[in-house]
Structure 1
């Protein structure tokens, strides 16, 4: 303590300093928690959403699926896009596929086309249409293994 400085003055400064540190630490913790909650959103498949759709109406979720061939309808003037996605792995007893209608407004990635794998972020409306505000079209991997039939056909072509 410096000469001429009272104990009360020192305690007030320490209190203000401690309060400042507490406020800064609280802000950092809040930013970390909000960042994790936004980025750690689980994505649903079409079948999972169909099974629990009522509880997710109006809530922001991620949805993954494959673009149904021939379902893409574009309006280049307004950047509106309407298409369907499906989940070819899960089939109902009638051997049909789960499908979901999607509406998106914005710039479409170059890799977006029929049968593209997509991940969408948005909300399901009360009409059952999924309104996406983010669209990610996955790039097909160069390193995906080919099926036995494809490999056999390639091998037979080389023999001829």
Structure 2
């Protein structure tokens, strides 16, 4: 018995259960690989990673990958002096009680710097263009640029 669920997944099952039971129970069922394909914008291109010239960014990509890219740029380039000042304050007051509370002035400066970039539509458009260029390069060559990796953060923040 075979069912097509919401046009996305083709489920094959050996028992004769109702469609509702099939959806709830995948114990005897398997999802056929022939129907599980990604969006058209993420297929094709020179290395099958998507069209390099596509400017489309899905909500999931915008919420996860792009936001991580923006966070990385704010930490390492745009607001780097403010972050460094705050980290130095935290390290200097590490042995004291409420060190983060005592360094809240420095952290407010960090927040002001970040808000300056995040709330400015022109700056966000520039960051989006930079991200799309990196993604386009990845889709052309298959070689990506990693950001916010564990090793990069350890190197940047120190011990």
**TM bucket normalised to smaller:** under 0.3
Q: Which has the higher contact order (CA 8 A, sep 6+)?
A: 2
Q: Which has the higher strand share?
A: 1
Q: Which has the higher helix share?
A: 2
How high is the TM-score relative to the length of structure 1? 0.19
